[in-house]
A and B are shown apart, each in its own frame.
Chain A
């Protein structure tokens, strides 16, 4: 029985990469909670958590410990299995997206080219869309299984919001795909790194500013972040879909939100900000070890992603929440026509340039 045709090196390489990236996501999500509290505090003329360790950097550990040791309550009237599956789904879908992202230039280990990406599939972007559209289930199942009217309402709000904004997001991306001519994430990054115009001018944000804006707004909505956090509107629906959750199940929902935020930051940097491309320099002329180049590229990507995470937080503490009808009007009547227009204009320009 020849079960594994692929060599063991390949398996190990991918396994290590998966473990590394999942750990990274968890760690970033942990410190995103800390970052959120600090950013919120600074924007409100406060200092924020500063008791646990220097500058309060052990605060996430304390929060996590608290969540782990809290009493776990499963409401009697809930449907038990689904109640447990809900947070699991939310977490899984949040982590799954990281699989197709090129985290940096390829590494060279023992004369082998090891791509810094878990799976470079043909349909990279569509994969992200598929996983994001499944993120709805974590919310919906959790909200319904709680057997609570507020949770159900929040779940339904969240689901309809996510479906509506996915459309505009997809349409905004189509324009971008017309430029690159490929759905593969590594191709899209290559297209920006080795662009004709050089430097950061070949980043897609320069050629698709409107597309980027639409994508950014939709990413906010997909992450359930504040102007669009109707799913957990704490002052109307007392915490929305995770109202009945306690202990680490609640923690999973909160964690998943921060992982989503980080991943969407990474996706936006990859699609629009050139991924791991370092602006203003030609790193190929440095003649250093490609492994170091990969590490630097990875750090640059992280920096871009953290910038987006910061902007998300910044927006959260500036803009008040939308009303439900405003949300739907913005999604269906503003963003989708805009995205369509953007798509048509891009198509015309692309065809005209080709002639």
Chain B
């Protein structure tokens, strides 16, 4: 049975004298390597050149806002339940009168943390969220000097306000269509 077309039959005949010197095999190998010398290089000059991501790339999470710039998250905890790595913790608080321009729902997340060292970027939080509040963005490879810095607070996760800073908002949204 053949699974692929690339399988190669191994020649198990005993080697003759010329082959036993291994010179033909070495020369063949050197021919293969030198052919790579002239091939097109796979290198991408990283900071200047970037590879384009697919539309469904799963990067670092962002907390979304609606068109008026209000936080969508209602601290229901479904994302934390869905998270297989148990990276998400949150604390809920009730919206006070006069805060309607800040939070869309009556309940909001006072504290929302994702431990980026635990996160496996599976995207289950995005799928679990009933309010379209959490998304996986196209940013990746976060760096920090200590482990504490990898616990992202709500301020680190929130998307820029579309009213105050529309340019940054558009950049954070990227190519992904926002519902």
Asked if B43 and A315 make an inter-chain contact with CB atoms under 8 angstroms apart, the answer reads: no
Asked if A43 and B37 make an inter-chain contact with CB atoms under 8 angstroms apart, the answer reads: yes
Given the complex of chains A and B, what is the CA–CA distance between A274 and B166 in angstroms? 73
Interface of A is mostly: loop
Asked if B33 and A45 make an inter-chain contact with CB atoms under 8 angstroms apart, the answer reads: no
Interface residues of B in 33-79 (CB under 8 A from A): 33-34, 36-37, 39-43
Asked if B41 and A46 make an inter-chain contact with CB atoms under 8 angstroms apart, the answer reads: yes
Q: Does B24 contact A (CB under 8 A)?
A: no
The residue in chain B whose Cβ has the minimal distance to the Cβ of A227 is B26
- B-chain residues with CB within 8 Å of residue A318 when the two chains form the complex: 26, 29-30, 32-33
- B-chain residues with CB within 8 Å of residue A317 when the two chains form the complex: 33
Asked if B34 and A47 make an inter-chain contact with CB atoms under 8 angstroms apart, the answer reads: no
- B-chain residues with CB within 8 Å of residue A43 when the two chains form the complex: 33-34, 36-37
Q: Does A314 contact B (CB under 8 A)?
A: yes
Asked if A42 and B30 make an inter-chain contact with CB atoms under 8 angstroms apart, the answer reads: no
Interface residues of A in 8-53 (CB under 8 A from B): 39, 42-47
- B-chain residues with CB within 8 Å of residue A44 when the two chains form the complex: 36
Interface residues of A in 306-327 (CB under 8 A from B): 314-315, 317-319
Given the complex of chains A and B, what is the CA–CA distance between A317 and B34 in angstroms? 10
Given the complex of chains A and B, what is the CA–CA distance between A317 and B29 in angstroms? 10
- A-chain residues with CB within 8 Å of residue B33 when the two chains form the complex: 43, 314, 317-318
Interface residues on chain A, number (Cβ under 8 Å): 12
Given the complex of chains A and B, what is the CA–CA distance between A43 and B36 in angstroms? 5
Interface residues of A in 169-183 (CB under 8 A from B): none
Interface of B is mostly: helix
Asked if A45 and B34 make an inter-chain contact with CB atoms under 8 angstroms apart, the answer reads: no
The residue in chain B whose Cβ has the minimal distance to the Cβ of A311 is B30
- B-chain residues with CB within 8 Å of residue A319 when the two chains form the complex: 26, 29
0/1 per residue, B98-138, Cβ < 8 Å to A?
00000000000000000000000000000000000000000
Asked if A315 and B30 make an inter-chain contact with CB atoms under 8 angstroms apart, the answer reads: yes
Given the complex of chains A and B, what is the CA–CA distance between A319 and B26 in angstroms? 7
Asked if B43 and A46 make an inter-chain contact with CB atoms under 8 angstroms apart, the answer reads: yes
Nearest-CB distance from B40 to chain A (Å)? 8
Given the complex of chains A and B, what is the CA–CA distance between A340 and B40 in angstroms? 46
- A-chain residues with CB within 8 Å of residue B30 when the two chains form the complex: 314-315, 318
- A-chain residues with CB within 8 Å of residue B37 when the two chains form the complex: 39, 42-43
- B-chain residues with CB within 8 Å of residue A46 when the two chains form the complex: 41-43
- B-chain residues with CB within 8 Å of residue A314 when the two chains form the complex: 30, 33-34
Given the complex of chains A and B, what is the CA–CA distance between A174 and B9 in angstroms? 45
0/1 per residue, A49-64, Cβ < 8 Å to B?
0000000000000000
Nearest-CB distance from B62 to chain A (Å)? 33
Interface residues of B in 6-26 (CB under 8 A from A): 26
Asked if A47 and B26 make an inter-chain contact with CB atoms under 8 angstroms apart, the answer reads: no
Complex A-B, nearest 3 residue pairs according to Cβ-Cβ distance, in ascending order: A47-B43, A318-B33, A43-B33
Given A39-B37, A42-B37, 6 additional A-B pairs, CB 8 A: A43-B34, A45-B43, A314-B33, A314-B34, A318-B29, A318-B33
Point out residues on B near A: beta carbons under 8 Å: 26, 29-30, 32-34, 36-37, 39-43
| 26 cross-chain CB contacts under 8 A | A39-B37, A42-B37, A42-B41, A43-B33, A43-B34, A43-B36, A43-B37, A44-B36, A45-B36, A45-B40, A45-B41, A45-B42, A45-B43, A46-B41, A46-B43, A47-B43, A314-B30, A314-B33, A314-B34, A317-B33, A318-B26, A318-B29, A318-B30, A318-B32, A318-B33, A319-B26
Point out residues on A near B: beta carbons under 8 Å: 39, 42-47, 314-315, 317-319
